[in-house]
Amino acid sequence: MPTARLASLNTTLDRANSDLVLIVDDVPDNLAVLHDALDESGYTVLVALSGAAALQRAAQALPDIVLLDAMMPGMDGFEVARLLKADAKTAHIPIIFMTGLTETEHLVAALEAGGVDYITKPIKPKEVLARMAVHLQGAREKRQARNALDAFGYASITVRVSDGHLMWQTPLARDLLMRYYGTDAPTTPIPVLTWLRRHVALGPVSIEPPRFTTEQGATRLTFRLHQQIGDSEGGGDWLIIMQEVSDGAVIEAIALTFKLTPKEAEVLYWVVKGKINRDIGDILGSSAMTVKKHLERIFAKLGVETRTAAAGMVMRCIRQLHPQFEA
């Protein structure tokens, strides 16, 4: 393939109306045949002549599917596939191997490296298009479902139990994990991984196990097991749904209902959550003595004498306004 032609494939990509395909092959003639067939069928095409170039282009462009030559000099297709699957940004991309090797062990190696399918050489463009259509449809449906989750405030991640690898995350999940744990893929936060492994170790999950929740001020992040993906070897891969809930509306409701100041409403909120004065002071950046003075005023306004009575009164009221509230 002429250098000018290769350069033309690196122009800005319009992803709105076509799927993006990355073809990886060290033989320019093979690239040319596939590029022309895919281009005529309406796909946007990127090419790479080596494994290193494939990894770089995949990370930058995030193609919808990869057509990957198995046997290349230097880094072969099997290693490229393993590295793509090890990176959370590219792990979800379907990989179709193109190979002249027909021995069973080579085909098994292609699938074990992360391929979803393989095509034997010489390449027949119509066969490639047919195989691609099947896998792109599945990838498209998964992508739409994940985007919909993010749009409604439900983030999602995929975690491999055997090594704790965070294999995939939505943009919202990335933001939440960084904010709550200061971690990013491929690292799964230790408390989340411990929770996941504990429940998977109990055997087949017939009913949804207890959710895992972590708090940060008046917001909390909840994790729940959604479904297992793939086989169960080594514990399998699990899709986990995350949702952040803010109790800011609850604090505001406490203030309005009981005619409290915003600070008094915050103090009472943490009393309901079972915190002692010292802990509340730490959370709000004040002293335990200041919290005690706030509580004296709160008790007077509510007409009660104890923390238990105050908390009980608030819970009865708030549960009617916010049934999802958890003490």
Asked whether residue 135 falls in the same domain as residue 269, the answer is no
326 domain residue, yes or no: no
Please report which confidence band the pLDDT of residue 111 belongs to, taking 50, 70 and 90 as the band edges. confident
Res 15: pLDDT: 44
**Same domain for 258 and 289?**
yes
- Phi, psi dihedrals of residue 228, rounded to the nearest 5°: -85, 140
pLDDT for position 122? 84
What does the pLDDT look like over 8-33, one tens digit per residue? 344 334 444 568 899 999 988 888 88
Domain boundary residue, one of 246, 271, 287: 246
Confidence of residue 61 (pLDDT cuts 50, 70, 90): confident
Contact in structure between 242 and 166 (CB atoms under 8 Å): no
Name the helix (H) or strand (E) containing 193: helix 190-200
Tell me what the mean pLDDT of segment 231-239 comes to.
Answer: 72
Q: What is the pTM (predicted TM-score) of this model?
A: 0.49
What CATH number is attached to the domain comprising 68? 3.40.50.2300
Residue 166, SS3 per DSSP: strand
Q: What domain range is 74 assigned to? A: 3-146
Residues 16 and 73 in one domain: yes
pLDDT in tens, 284-320: 888 999 999 999 999 999 999 999 999 888 888 776 6
Question: Burial, 171: exposed, middle or buried (Cβ in 10 Å; 0-12, 13-18, 19+)?
Answer: exposed
DSSP string, 16-69: SSS-EEEEE-S-HHHHHHHHHHHHHTT-EEEEESSHHHHHHHHHHH--SEEEEE
As a whole number, mean pLDDT of residues 72-95 equals 88
**Which pLDDT value is given to residue 189?**
94
Q: Which residue has the higher pLDDT, 291 or 103?
A: 291
Last residue within a domain, chosen from 146, 172, 202 = 146
- HSE-CB for 132 with a 13 A CA cutoff: 24
Is 254 in the same domain as 237?
no
State the pLDDT at residue 62.
85
The reply to whether 75 and 116 lie within a common domain is yes
Residue 3 has a pLDDT of 42
* 227 within domain boundaries: yes
Residue 153: predicted pLDDT: 62
**Range in 40-44, 84-88, 195-199, 276-280 the model is least confident about:** 84-88
Residue 95 falls inside a structural domain: yes
Residues 44 and 139 in one domain: yes
Answer yes or no: do 239 and 256 share one domain. no
Say if residue 258 is in the same domain as residue 310: yes
Final residue before a domain boundary, out of 105, 129, 146: 146
Q: What is the mean pLDDT of residues 55-63?
A: 90
* Rounded mean pLDDT, 199-205: 70
What's the pLDDT score for residue 203? 64
In a domain, 327, yes or no: no
CATH number of the domain enclosing 233 = 3.30.450.20
pLDDT, position 325 = 60
* Same domain membership, residue 167 and residue 125: no
pLDDT over 60 at 7, yes or no: no
Residues 39 and 139 in one domain: yes
Question: For 121-176, how does the pLDDT look when each residue is reduced to its tens digit (9 = 90+)?
Answer: 888 888 999 989 888 887 776 666 666 666 666 788 888 888 888 888 888 888 89
Q: Are residues 110 and 184 in the same domain?
A: no
Q: For position 110, what pLDDT does the model report?
A: 82
Q: What is the mean pLDDT of residues 58-79?
A: 90
Which pLDDT belongs to residue 296? 94
Q: What is the pLDDT of residue 234?
A: 62
Q: How many domains does the chain have?
A: 3
| CATH code at position 264 | 1.10.10.10
Strands 165-169 and 212-216: unpaired
Q: Of all helices (H) and strands (E), which one includes residue 196? A: helix 190-200
125 and 55 within one domain = yes
